Structure 1
Amino acid sequence: MHPRRSAQEVLLCNLCETAALHSRCEVCNINLCKACVGDHLSDSSKQHNVMPFLQRKSTPNYPKCPKHANELCKHHCEKCDIPVCITCVSSGKHRGHKLSDFLEKLSAKTQNLQKDLKELETRIYPRYQKIASDVQTEKAKIETNYGKLTTATEQEGEILHREITTIVNRQKSDIQEMKNKHLYTLNKNTEEIIQKITELKQIISDLKSILKSNDVSLTSTYKSRNSEFRTLPPKVQVTLPSFTPQKINTDQLREMFGSLSPLSINTEHGDTMKSAEAVPSPPVKPLLDEPRLTATIDTEYSSLCSVSCLSEDQIWTCGDNETMKLLNLQSKLMTSIKTKSGKKLSDIAVTRDRDLVYTDYSNNTVNLIRNKKIRTVITLQGWKPHNVCCTASNDILVTMVSNDGKQSKVGRYSGSTEKQSIQFDDQGRPLYSAGRYIDKYISENKNLDICVADWAARAVVVVNQLGKLRFRYTGHPSNTEQSFTPVGITTDSQSHILTADCDNHRIHILDHDGQFLRYIHCDLCDPWGLSVDIRDNLFVAEYYTVKVKKIQYM
């Protein structure tokens, strides 16, 4: 801002920038002081319209024409969907095109913007806030709910501990009782023996006294008790008790203790809110009888493998080297990024967050590029990645082959965690052909089916989100030139499946159940990678011409 222009000062003349403004030229869209009005009117190259500033009209802010520097775009070409100036119109480039007043077009778009803003502020944003609030409430409940589980577990443990303590104490009491009985028996036996020993001592003493006295009367009256003592006292035989512990069966113990029900986390697809106008659903887009080529983009690879839409007018591409290129519809290189390994990549895909994912066959990795920084998110063990796509739930689907080339499968990943592996049908037969260097392009349909173009099997293999085989499409009977050779594959808003039939130089359009609808030709040459933008424009990467063709087919 000019240092002398502020909210507290008068507006100044745009020419001298010193005097206060007095008038305004509606044609040139500038403010003038009294002194500069004459100088401005002396320019006869235009027919000026100068009036007092307070009587000025609300001058529309027409954009400048990018091709004709001195012209303003006062019209809008409906077919090309761009603003144009009168020179653009008279040049003949827009002959036959419907032209509308730029201000009318701007007004209509402004109304749409206002509707969008109102819907976002009053309906959509509050719903998101409520959902976020509900999640926070749910998180707040976690401590309470899991705390109750922990308490219940501890209480059950205390009950079991008490039962075990009771059992142990009872057994200790039984042991003590056995011990007491044992000791009583031994003590009684000991008392009997001691009594006998006392008697024996007395008899021995008496006999010695008799022999020493030589008293005939004592000798004649003596009666022997030896026979009585020859029978020895009984010996107590006691078999000591023993403890035989039972082998603990951990499974039975766990079952007896109780079990937790499994944690079940289901991510349901969010409800789709009706628009503010309460339109039930967008109308079905019919297929064009004659698809139209609307743009051709040069990529400057030696061979072109993949294309993925970043927006309606920018596409990511990859070919026969280690470089990924972001190009606009005029073939201008917006940016380029080399793989982390420096080796040729296999495939690319754009995520819902507009990041780029690529697969690197050389080091068995899947990598994410955000703000030009590369981060490895998946490292495969025993498998090599081929092609990749990103799902509506922001998962990553990867086609891969085993290191020995004898097995193929599809893996679903959330971050670096494998959530699903799709390899066999219900009879245990492989869903996909094997082969070490055979690409299998992949796409998720709007009905969440997983579609794989299996070139070696000459088939499009479609499974549902659980990995159950739905159908195989092996080409249309009209394929008489060459056998069906599906390479690239993509899907659109109508759940159509589009696959590139490279040897026959055309695209097959199928419905979501695999029924053939029609071909797209458009002078295609070796179509390979495919991608569809949000407006259902098809982008086709041609392998040998290394061009990307934008085609309108709906």
Structure 2
Amino acid sequence: MAKPTFWAQDVYTCYLCENATQQFCNSCQVNLCETCIKKHRYEFKSLPHDIVSFLDRKIQVVLPQCPEHTGQRCEANCKECNRPVCLKCIVSGPHIGHDIEELIETHGNKIRKIKSDKEELQEKLIPKYQKEEVEIGNKISNAKSKLDDVGNESKKLRKLWHQEVDKIFDKIEFLSQYLTEKNINAVQEYHNKIRDLISEMNTIVKQIEKLFTSKKLSEVNIYKSKLNE
């Protein structure tokens, strides 16, 4: 299925083909050309379609189709089951007596939670871990620098002493390098984890930003916060 695109002169194309858009389905929030209107109705023949001129389109949230009742859109959300339901589901379906709220209200709450998560990630968590990442990087650099200094000094002293003393310094240098590299490797591993965590949080922010522009309630509704992780 072709995705809606637009040309240099802001000419939008049909979501089913590459022809220029003349019509718009308010119910499904998709662009249509004259040729594809019938195909679109047939593709979702169980649902009502409000086809209007593209200039008269209304940008709004798309209510999902009810999986239990053909031709019905979900206008509410079942709090107990955490899923969209239509009026028939509430009155005579499997959600009788359940705690119900308007799907638009659920969507609004989800959007607010998504926005809150995005703000906490960008304003608190990411800066915090970026600062820690820099500090750990500096500690690793200092440790490596000190290790180099110890090695250079050891080489200078080695030349001043006899063979037996030189052997003692060889043992000291080996032990010093072994312990220092062991500590550096441990800190380096934690440093890498911090970097991966920052990358993962930036990926979540990008996914959240996509949800702000999504018109599919089902995508927003299944959003789960990962801040505790």
What TM-score do you get using the length of structure 2 for normalisation? 0.54
Q: Structure 1 residues 3 and 9 mapped into 2: Cα distance closer, same or farther (>3 Å)?
A: farther
Matches within 5 A, 1:135-154: 135-154=136-155
- Shift of residue 145, structure 1, vs aligned partner: 0.6
Q: Which residue of 1 aligns with 2:88?
A: 87
Q: Which residue of 1 aligns with 2:119?
A: 118
The amino acid across from 1:83 in the alignment is P
- Structure 1: gaps (5+ residues): 165-247, 271-492, 494-533, 535-554
Q: Which residue of 2 aligns with 1:103?
A: 104
SS of 2:77 mapped into structure 1:
strand
Q: Distance in 1 between matches of 2:145 and 2:30?
A: 68
SS of 1:66 mapped into structure 2:
coil
Q: Which residue of 2 aligns with 1:132?
A: 133
Matches within 5 A, 1:342-353: none
CA-based RMSD of the aligned residues comes to 4.7
- Shift of residue 5, structure 1, vs aligned partner: 5.4
Q: Structure 1 residues 154 and 36 mapped into 2: Cα distance closer, same or farther (>3 Å)?
A: closer
Matches within 5 A, 1:515-554: none
Q: Distance in 1 between matches of 2:25 and 2:158?
A: 90
Q: Distance in 2 between matches of 1:120 and 1:89?
A: 37
Q: Of Structure 1 and Structure 2, which has the larger fraction of its residues in helix?
A: 2
Q: Distance in 2 between matches of 1:120 and 1:107?
A: 20
Which structure carries more relative contact order (alpha carbon 8 Å, separation 6+)?
A: 2
Q: Determine which structure has more spread, i.e. the larger CA radius of gyration.
A: 1
Q: Of Structure 1 and Structure 2, which has the larger fraction of its residues in strand?
A: 1
Q: Distance in 2 between matches of 1:115 and 1:58?
A: 24
Q: Structure 1 residues 131 and 92 mapped into 2: Cα distance closer, same or farther (>3 Å)?
A: same
Q: Structure 1 residues 148 and 46 mapped into 2: Cα distance closer, same or farther (>3 Å)?
A: closer
Number of equivalences: 175
- Shift of residue 73, structure 1, vs aligned partner: 2.2
- Pairing 1:58–2:77 present: no
SS of 1:100 mapped into structure 2:
strand
- Shift of residue 136, structure 1, vs aligned partner: 2.9
- Shift of residue 81, structure 1, vs aligned partner: 1.3
- Shift of residue 114, structure 1, vs aligned partner: 1.6
What TM-score do you get using the length of structure 1 for normalisation? 0.26
Q: Which residue of 2 aligns with 1:72?
A: 73
Q: Which residue of 2 aligns with 1:26?
A: 26
- Shift of residue 9, structure 1, vs aligned partner: 6.2
Q: Distance in 2 between matches of 1:36 and 1:154?
A: 81
Deviations 1:213-262 (A, max 9, x none): xxxxxxxxxxxxxxxxxxxxxxxxxxxxxxxxxxx9x9xx959x979676
Q: Distance in 1 between matches of 2:89 and 2:158?
A: 85
Q: Structure 1 residues 78 and 20 mapped into 2: Cα distance closer, same or farther (>3 Å)?
A: closer
- Shift of residue 125, structure 1, vs aligned partner: 1.8
- Structure 2: gaps (5+ residues): 194-227
Q: Structure 1 residues 258 and 4 mapped into 2: Cα distance closer, same or farther (>3 Å)?
A: closer
Q: Distance in 1 between matches of 2:3 and 2:160?
A: 82
